[in-house]
Amino acid sequence: MAEITRRIGLSLGADICWPTCYQEIMKRLDLNIPMNGDRIRFEVARMGIEPFDLREHVPFDVVIDRLTHWYNTRREWIKKATILDDVYVFNNPWSVQSMEKLTTYVAMMRLGFPIPDTWLIPPKEYEHQADLQVTLERYARFFNLGEIGEKLGYPLFMKPYDGGAWKAVTKIDNEEELRKAYDGSGRNIMHLQQGVFPFEKYVRCIGLGPQTRLVSYAPEAPLHDRYQMAKGFLKPEDAALMRDMTLVINAFFGWDFNSCEALLKGGTWYPIDYANPCPDSQVTSLHYHFPWLIKANIRWSVFTAATKKPLGQLTWRRYFKLIEEGMTFREQLDRYLKIAHHRFETERFEAFCDQHLPHLDEVAHEFFATQTARDAVHAKVKALYPEHEVEEFTGLFWERIQSCRDDEPPGTARDVAVA
């Protein structure tokens, strides 16, 4: 019997609260897992930024990454690590690099998801490039923006095809506003998307490996109130639909950690943004839902590290082959779901958690009552809020975490349909 150490790397940027909580709970768990005749222990390290030799082997088995989508040095390091050393990373770096909103919309359209009608329009302005002028003179066709607006109907939403963090998103109610918004859109390549408006419900489904959490979302509320604590407002079949759509898309794109947004109108759930593969993890947004995130993160990283899960290839053709004329979307989804569960090894994961992490709930429950946990919340609030609001908001987020502890005692299901 050998003692093996699996190393989990945290690839961090501005993150403050979640890595502290993750590391503290890992320390308290002090895992020592029997597997294939060996005993597996775990080390967690925060990764530094430094020059690297492309041939040098990396000292990690799993990387939880928060940087790839904007910090290319880390992205390239991760690509090298997955090829050279079979490192498992949340999320597939090639997928994060190239799958924008547009790709997810089109993939979902092909798979039968009810995506609102969406157009892409060439940018209003360009960065100068040698061949730009001649290319536009030869090939840029005049188009009638008003006609596109009319086809889509109002209100519509103009938003970058690769957007995130609500940058340059505009609700547009008529042609005049459309022209004005386009004139002001600069070099952004914009989607115009049919508005699902007014919507009856807005849900974000956070997926982490095969685990999901459904959260009611209020886009118009201030940041600290957007993720709601409401319960019981989704019918079980709607909760299952949201969860299954999320798992399918995450498996399809190789995303372990993604947040999917859908709006309900007239009995249909319309996905409007399923491309958030570095979702909010901060206590200042997630508050009540924060303990779930930490626990889900621990379960999935420990599972992938212990089992040396390989980073799967993307296998789109397998999904497309399942499409059959005449089936309902729910029937189609059930077919895709089988591939998703296979990719996430859902059954094996559940059994692993039951066998090797039965004490996680209890340990986390205790941890989230400690001064260390409160200090982590305080540190994040201090980094984001003006001095005079720090105590008030630390208190608010802490109170919400305590409500979560009361509402979700040890033993609560791993998939939580809070909505």
Ligand X SMILES: Nc1ncnc2c1ncn2[C@@H]1O[C@H](COP(=O)(O)OP(=O)(O)OP(=O)(O)O)[C@@H](O)[C@H]1O
Q: Which residues bind to ligand X, rule: CB under 6 A? A: 116, 157, 159, 163-167, 169, 193, 195-197, 219, 261, 263, 272-273, 276
Shorter beta-carbon distance to ligand X: residue 169 or 390 = 169
Residue with smaller CB distance to ligand X, 198 or 411: 198
367 vs 376: CA distance, rounded Å: 11
Nearer to ligand X by C-beta: 167 or 231? 167
Nearest distance from C-beta of residue 261 to Mg ion, angstroms: 5
Identify which of residues 60 and 182 has a Cβ nearer to ligand X in the complex: 182
- Decide which of ligand X, Mg ion, none touches 159; Cβ closer than 5 to 8 Å per partner kind: ligand X
- Smallest distance from ligand X to CB 158, Å: 9
Q: Which stretch binds Mg ion (CB under 5 A): 221-229, 270-278, 292-300, 330-338?
A: 270-278
Among 222-230, 267-275, 333-341, 404-412, which window interacts with Mg ion (CB under 5 A)? 267-275
Q: How far apart are CA 192 and CA 391, in angstroms?
A: 42
Q: Which does 193 bind (CB under 5 to 8 A by kind): ligand X, Mg ion, none?
A: ligand X
* Min separation Cβ 258 and Mg ion, Å: 11
Instruction: Write the binding mask 225 to 264 for Mg ion: x where contact by CB under 5 A, - elsewhere.
Output: ----------------------------------------
Residue that is written with structure tokens 């980073």 in the block:
311
Q: Does 273 bind Mg ion (CB under 5 A)?
A: yes
Piece of 52-60, 271-279, 308-316, 366-374 that binds Mg ion (CB under 5 A): 271-279
Rounded CA gap, 397 and 419, in Å?
Answer: 19
Q: Hey, what amino acid is at 209?
A: G
Q: How far is the CB of 117 from Mg ion (least distance, A)?
A: 18
User: Where does this chain touch Mg ion (CB under 5 A) — which range of 42-50, 74-82, 94-102, 273-281?
Assistant: 273-281
Written as one string, the DSSP assignment of 323-373 is --TT--HHHHHHHHHHHHHHHHTHHHHHHHHHHH-TTHHHHHHHHTTSHHH
Using alpha carbons, select from 359, 336, 374 the residue that is nearest to residue 29.
359
Within 13 A of 86's CA, how many CA atoms are on the CB side? 7
Rounded CA gap, 248 and 260, in Å?
11
Q: For Mg ion, which is the closer residue by CB, 273 or 280?
A: 273
For the record, the structure tokens of 374 come out as: 């409160």
Nearer to Mg ion, 52 or 70 (CB): 70
Shortest Cβ 309–ligand X spacing (Å): 28
Q: How far apart are CA 90 and CA 300, in angstroms?
A: 10
> CB-wise, 204 or 365, nearer to ligand X?
204
Q: Rounded distance, CA 131 to CA 401, Å?
A: 56
The span from the CA of 295 to the CA of 64, in Å, is 14
**CA–CA separation, 414 vs 298, rounded Å?**
12
Q: Which residues pair with 62 in a beta bridge?
A: 8, 88
Query: Of all helices (H) and strands (E), which one includes residue 40?
Result: strand 38-46
Residues facing 177 on adjacent strands? none
Helices 371-384 + 17-29 axis angle, to 10: 160
Q: Which is nearer to ligand X, 20 or 188 (CB)?
A: 188
The least CB distance from residue 244 to Mg ion, in Å, is 20
Per partner kind, with CB cut-offs from 5 to 8 A, the member of Mg ion, ligand X, none near residue 271 is none
Query: SS3 of 267, please?
Result: coil
Our CB check for ligand X shows the closer of 142 and 166 to be 166
Query: Are 213 and 415 in contact, with CB atoms under 8 Å apart?
Result: yes
- Interface region with Mg ion, contact rule CB under 5 A, candidates 186-194, 197-205, 268-276, 409-417: 268-276
- Determine the Cα–Cα distance for residues 64 and 78; give it in Å rounded to an integer: 10
Binding site for Mg ion (CB under 5 A): 273
